[in-house]
Amino acid sequence: MKTDATLYVEAEPYPFEFVPATCALIIIDMQRDFLEPGGFGEMLGNDVSLLRRTIAPNQRLLAAWRAKGWQVLHTREGHRPDLGCLPPAKKIRGRSPTTIGDPGPMGRILVRGEAGHDIISELYPLPGEAIIDKPGKGAFYATDLHPIMQNRGIKQLIVTGVTTEVCVNTTVREANDRGYDCLVPEDCVGSYFPEMHVAGLMMIKEQGGIFGWVSHSDKILAALE
């Protein structure tokens, strides 16, 4: 397919228009510790099946995007092994007995290089797909995502991953303030809290799409055909 043709995706609050050459798929934090049974997320008492329902639709969308040869980015939330990029406030927030940097079920919790920090095998990045290691919830703060997007001519993002109201929402808001359009396929994002998932999507698409657009992977795939 020509990459300079405009494609239209049925979305809320109105159709999302994109030019493939300047639109990247960015998959947020599909990490083992958040999604796998036995990981940190489950250790905290969360039901990981609420996030795991996003794996299959992400696989389908990623496969279609890769087949077109379009740009793919991945993020991971985590910190340097010396925890130099971990704000003390983030370390102690929640008053949990086990916090970031401590030994967890899949290595040190949210530490770069540990098994639990890595991306699930089902969505593992291919060579050439940049992995953005981020210390915060948003993918722009303290990372090289913005220069990478500028250098590659990326103007729009399809944002998927977890969690809807935390890292996905924060990234969409950061992108919006930098002048980028974001489309969020609702079946490709998930939350441990169903009501937060719904609210997180509403916050993006309400008020005329104040932060972006919400759609479904089926509608993106239909636009790709």
Comparison of 77 and 187: residue with beta carbon closer to ligand TIU = 77
Compute the least distance from the CB of residue 166 to ligand TIU, in Å. Answer: 3
Give the whole-angstrom CA distance, residue 8 versus residue 16: 6
Comparison of 67 and 89: residue with beta carbon closer to ligand TIU = 89
Catalytic residue selected from 133, 134, 181, 205? 134
Three-state SS at 173: helix
Closest CA to 110 of 144, 143, 142, 81: 81
> Is residue 18 within 8 Å of residue 9, measured between CB atoms?
yes
134 part of the active site: yes
The interaxial angle of helices 194-209 and 169-177, nearest 10 deg, is 20
Compute the least distance from the CB of residue 153 to ligand TIU, in Å. Answer: 27
Comparison of 20 and 187: residue with beta carbon closer to ligand TIU = 187
Compute the least distance from the CB of residue 162 to ligand TIU, in Å. Answer: 5
Angle, vertex CA 49, rays to CA 44 and CA 55, nearest 5: 120
> Is residue 25 within 8 Å of residue 72, measured between CB atoms?
yes
Q: Please classify residue 138 by burial: count the beta carbons closer than 10 Å to its beta carbon, then call 0-12 exposed, 13-18 middle and 19+ buried.
A: buried
167 part of the active site: yes
Compute the least distance from the CB of residue 107 to ligand TIU, in Å. Answer: 17
Catalytic residue selected from 167, 187, 188, 219? 167
Closest CA to 183 of 163, 201, 165: 201
- H or E segment at 62? helix 55-68
Give the whole-angstrom CA distance, residue 43 versus residue 77: 17
Comparison of 54 and 217: residue with beta carbon closer to ligand TIU = 54
DSSP code of residue 159: E
Q: Which residues bind ligand TIU (CB under 6 A)?
A: 29, 77, 162-163, 166-167, 192
29 part of the active site: yes
Comparison of 110 and 183: residue with beta carbon closer to ligand TIU = 110
Catalytic residue selected from 23, 29, 133, 219? 29
Compute the least distance from the CB of residue 185 to ligand TIU, in Å. Answer: 16
Which active-site residues does the annotation give? 29, 134, 167
